[in-house]
């Protein structure tokens, strides 16, 4: 069941309504049942793996907290984390080898496995208590708005909310519906429209015509952002209908003036996870290595990000490219700061040119993220500006015309995101009655419009890019 389908939105609305009538003590059980039902619509055969990993980690967390002062507990943590990493790696390797026999990778395995790993480490580090309520813990692991593609929420953030089990307030419901509608707009009007151009360009990567290849190079980062952030918007909005807040995953990444700033703004829950549980511990172990230790830590971190998406050569190259970017950025940071202090005008120039340069660097890495093979990715980068001829008939063809619509939609998305970041809370409850009813009416009209679009749409919605990870 896709997230941008009438079936999902109808079941979400029904679940949110029923949840309000569930007694507080039974709300965790309700969310577990709803999440497992949602999971079963994708692949019921993998429910056992989800339940087993949840039960094992729940028990391991209790043992780790009880034995924290014993020397053997570190071995227990290492074994438990190792088993989870192996559990994820087995499925990733099987996927990379494209095993037959109807093999299907479990839905959201990368996301819920990272949740389980961080939970165990937090209990071991005593940064969060071990959960004592299995249903609350199961709801945390399998929470259906997040299990498809995150955001990767920490147990210390989700579990206290689950214990309180609050009902959504009117502002939360309105903001939740707004985020869901925004996510549907990003997916249907922007990402899927831009995908027409991107798919054509990458499918003809080695062709002689250069314009489709060049346009795909510049447009794919926009499509990827619209597609992935749409998933996040729907997840955050859906969670709010149940009175639960989720972490943000994006913060205007393409306005970043450097590659390090870009990674602080892109897929933030994943980068923060790797920073806390991979980069920082590794950096501390290698601190005596100086700059070499820093370079190794950054390289390992970015290679893991690449391989987390899939055990393929293009994803490995994607990680290595960004590791080079970040190593150069980190090793020249002090020099650049001194230079900016001496020549302040350079800092102002960087504020304007930096996002343009960063976007091009990101787009180069994204070529290998999207390319079907390393050869196709290399062909696009090596021949990026060769054979580019602009003809009016080509620019306004069916594919390019759809892309122009998508680019217009993306511009609107940027405006809406700008407003949302500066107005994080909707003060509808404190507004006069006519404003409250107007806001609610507008939200409902837009929601009904998108439902009508989904019902009238004959072709299936393209799968989300990040739903396969």
Annotate the chain with three-state secondary structure.
CCCCCHHHHHHHHHHHHHHCCCCHHHHHHHHHHHHHHHHHHHCHHHHHHHHHHHHHHHHHHHHHHHCCCCCCHHHHHHHHHHHHHHHHHHHHHHHHHCCCCCCCCCCCHHHHHHHHHHHHHHHHHCCCCCCCCHHHHHHHHHCHHHHCCCCCCCHHHHHHHHHHCCCCCHHHHHHHHHHHHHHHHHHHHHHHHHHHHHHHHHHCCCCCCCHHHHHHHHHHHHHHHHHHHHHHHHHHHHHHHCCCCCCCCCCCHHHCCCHHHHHHHCCHHHHHHHHHHHHHHHHHHCHHHCHHHHHHHHHHHHHHHHHHHCCCHHHHHHHHHHHHHHHHHHHCHHHHHHHHHHCHHHHHHHHHHHHHHHHHHHHHHHHHHHCCCHHHHHHHHHCCCCCCCCCHHHHCCHHHHHHHHHHHHHHHHHHHHHHHHHCCCCCCCCCCHHHHHHHHHHHHHHHHHHHHHHHHCCCCCCCCHHHHC
The answer to whether 309 is a known catalytic residue is: yes
Query: Active site residue: 272, 309, 322, 360, which one?
Result: 309
Residues known to be catalytic: 309
């Amino acid at each position: 069941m896709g997230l941008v389908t009438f079936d999902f939105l109808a079941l979400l609305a029904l679940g949110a309504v029923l949840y309000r009538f569930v007694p507080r003590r039974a709300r965790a059980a309700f969310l577990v049942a709803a999440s497992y039902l949602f999971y079963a619509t994708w692949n019921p055969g993998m429910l056992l793996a989800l339940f087993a990993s949840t039960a094992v980690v729940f028990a391991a967390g209790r043992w780790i907290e009880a034995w924290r002062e014993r020397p053997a507990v570190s071995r227990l943590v290492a074994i438990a984390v190792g088993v989870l990493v192996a559990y994820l790696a087995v499925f990733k390797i099987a996927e990379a080898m494209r095993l037959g026999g109807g093999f299907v990778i479990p839905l959201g395995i990368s996301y819920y496995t990272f949740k389980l790993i961080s939970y165990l480490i937090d209990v071991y580090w005593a940064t969060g208590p071990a959960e004592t309520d299995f249903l609350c813990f199961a709801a945390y692991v399998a929470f259906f708005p997040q299990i498809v593609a995150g955001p990767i929420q920490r147990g210390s953030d989700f579990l206290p909310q689950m214990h309180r089990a609050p009902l959504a307030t009117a502002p939360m419901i309105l903001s939740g519906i707004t985020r869901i509608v925004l996510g549907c707009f990003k997916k249907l009007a922007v990402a899927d429209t831009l995908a027409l151009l991107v798919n054509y360009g990458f499918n003809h990567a080695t062709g002689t015509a250069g314009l489709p290849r060049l346009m795909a190079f510049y447009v794919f980062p926009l499509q990827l952002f619209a597609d992935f952030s749409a998933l996040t918007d729907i997840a955050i909005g859906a969670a709010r209908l149940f009175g639960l807040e989720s972490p943000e995953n994006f913060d205007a990444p393409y306005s970043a003036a450097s590659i390090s700033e870009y990674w602080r703004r892109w897929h933030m829950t994943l980068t923060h996870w790797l920073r806390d549980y991979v980069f920082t511990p590794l950096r501390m172990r290698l601190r005596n290595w100086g700059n070499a230790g820093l370079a190794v830590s950054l390289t390992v971190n970015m290679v893991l990000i690449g391989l987390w998406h899939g055990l393929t050569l293009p994803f490995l190259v994607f990680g290595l490219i960004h590791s080079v970017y970040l190593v150069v950025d980190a090793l020249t940071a002090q020099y650049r700061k001194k230079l900016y202090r001496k020549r302040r005008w350079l800092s102002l120039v960087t504020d304007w040119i930096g996002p343009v340069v960063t976007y091009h660097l990101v787009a180069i890495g994204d070529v290998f993220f999207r390319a079907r093979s390393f050869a196709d990715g290399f062909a696009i980068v090596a021949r990026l500006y060769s054979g580019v001829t602009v003809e009016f008939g080509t620019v306004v063809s069916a594919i390019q015309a759809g892309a122009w619509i998508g680019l217009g939609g993306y511009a609107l998305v940027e405006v809406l995101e700008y407003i949302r970041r500066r107005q994080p809370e909707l003060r509808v409850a404190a507004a006069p009655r006519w404003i409250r009813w107007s806001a609610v009416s507008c939200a409902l009209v837009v929601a009904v419009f998108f439902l009508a679009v989904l019902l009238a749409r004959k072709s299936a919605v393209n799968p989300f890019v990040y739903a396969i990870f």
